[in-house]
Amino acid sequence: MFMKYKRYLPSNSSGVKATISLKDGSTFIDLLNILSIPLDEPKLVIINGISRGISSDRVKTETLRDGDVVAIFPPSGGG
């Protein structure tokens, strides 16, 4: 998880990594809610090494599975 979001991780986290237990059928938006990460902020989402793009409704409702590795970054800009 990118440093911007580190403050949302549980206190027992290791650096910018944490293991989060979710109920079967939980979605990415459930993960955000558990961590209290604001839903309205744009986020670049990577699940199991595959970019899911900016947190669209499709990404937010994607079901997570046991063992999934989720990375969340603020979108980068530039030019």
**pLDDT tens digits, residue range 43-68?**
889 999 998 888 777 888 889 999 99
Q: Cα–Cα distances in Å, from 18 out to 9, 15, 25, 78? A: 7, 8, 20, 30
Averaged confidence pLDDT in the chain: 85
Query: Given pLDDT bands bounded at 50, 70 and 90, which one contains residue 77?
Result: low
Selection from 14-23, 29-38, 49-58 with the highest mean pLDDT: 29-38
Query: Given pLDDT bands bounded at 50, 70 and 90, which one contains residue 39?
Result: confident
Q: Give 72's contacts (C-beta < 8 A, 6+ positions apart).
A: 1, 2, 5, 37, 43, 44, 45, 46
Query: Does residue 33 carry a pLDDT above 80?
Result: yes
Give CA–CA dist 52/9, Å, rounded.
21
The pLDDT assigned to 34 comes to 92
Give CA–CA dist 76/67, Å, rounded.
27
Local structure of 29: helix, strand or coil: helix
Per CATH, the number for 3-10+22-73 is 3.10.20.30
